[in-house]
Amino acid sequence: MKMPSFEVTLIPLVPGVNLPGVASARTRREIPSGRGVQEECLPFTAASALGLLIPSPIEFGLCAPEDLPSGCRAFRSPLNRPGSDGQYADPRAFFVFDRPDCRFRGNAYEFQEIPGPGSQQSTIREPGISFFDREDQQDLFKLHLPYIWRTAESIDTLFLPLLNRPGNRPEALAGLVETDWYASPVNLVLRKTAGAFHVRIGDPVAQAVFIPRDLRRPSVEVAASHARIAREARKGLVEWDRQHAASENAYKILARSRHGHIENDSAE
């Protein structure tokens, strides 16, 4: 089934915020020479180029108190309190930097021009980094995105860890949001790294792909060995082995012949 293209609408709630952009198949700045690099694998690059890359709207991180960068604001989770020995369960501290151009100060955004009672307008404060209040979730924290997502009817947004992109950064947990109606900004749930990390404004932190709601729950059928589709699949396997033996780029050639071409900036 061929799905039509569609638009994703983003509604910024603060000025100057870094917004998601179309993901690229290129996952590394420098691609090693020679055969066998991952960028030559079409399934790898096709996955990397799915959907949108979500950049961090703020500069934040986690490190030992003595390593806090100059000019930052440091804080800890309310549940990360000193024990009887005066030591914190996690000795590290979070930090953020103010971003006045984005109305972000003191780990909080200001959403202005929000409709209030009657004709009045109000201001809403929304955190940049927040925490869970359960002891079993202290390895997690939330990164708030100061914009609202809107997709076409019955199109959900699946928020994922970055696909095939290496780096020392907190990993996003997967979450599915019905963005055709959800009225609030999305908060990414991230898992702390074992060591220190420093995320700068614009650094990619997660990836968003889009799923028609009707395709959430597929049924599964196992083909009988005598069924026509099973016989054709076995014949196709033999033909595939022949084509792959003739060219290591067989998958890429066949995919492009079937779909016209697949645009990406992977290595050739």
User: Model's pTM, two decimal places?
Assistant: 0.87
CA angle, 176 as apex, 111 and 200 as ends, to 5°?
Answer: 50
Q: What is the pLDDT of residues 48-78, one digit of tens each?
A: 999 999 999 999 999 999 999 999 999 999 9
Task: Indicate the pairing of strand 140-144 with strand 129-131.
Answer: antiparallel
pLDDT of residue 247: 81
Give the chain's count of helices (H) and strands (E).
Answer: 3, 18
Run of H or E residues at 236:
helix 228-246
pLDDT of residue 268: 38
Q: Residue 190 to residues 4, 170, 175, 205, 243: CA-CA distances in angstroms? A: 32, 6, 11, 9, 43
Compute the distance between CA of residue 83 and CA of residue 80 in angstroms, rounded to an integer: 9
Across the range 225-253, mean pLDDT stands at: 88
Give the list of residues 6+ apart from residue 4 with CB closer than 8 angstroms, or none: none
Please answer whether residues 114 and 124 qualify as being in contact, where contact means their C-beta atoms are separated by less than 8 angstroms: yes
Of 20-24, 148-152, 179-183, 263-267, the range with the lowest mean pLDDT is: 263-267
The pLDDT-based confidence of 267 (bands split at 50, 70, 90) is very low
pLDDT of residue 166: 81
pLDDT of residue 260: 61
Beta strands in 128-169 (DSSP E): 129-131, 140-144, 147-150, 155-160
Q: In the chain, helix, strand, coil percent, each to 5?
A: 20, 30, 50
Of 94-103, 153-162, 190-199, 239-248, the range with the lowest mean pLDDT is: 239-248
Q: What residue segments make up the domains of the chain, in order of their start?
A: 9-215, 222-268
Mean confidence (pLDDT) of the chain: 89
Q: What is the pLDDT of residues 205-214, one digit of tens each?
A: 999 999 999 9
Residue with tokens 């890429």: 252
Q: pLDDT at residue 256 above 70?
A: yes
Please provide the distance, in angstroms rounded to a whole number, between the alpha carbons at the two ends of the chain: 29
Count Cβ atoms within 10 A of the Cβ of residue 221 and give its class: 0-12 exposed, 13-18 middle, 19 or more buried: exposed
Task: Indicate the pairing of strand 108-115 with strand 121-127.
Answer: antiparallel
Percent of the chain with pLDDT over 90: 65
Q: pLDDT at residue 257 above 50?
A: yes
SS3 (DSSP) at 69: coil
pLDDT of residue 246: 84
pLDDT of residue 261: 53
Percent of the chain with pLDDT over 70: 94
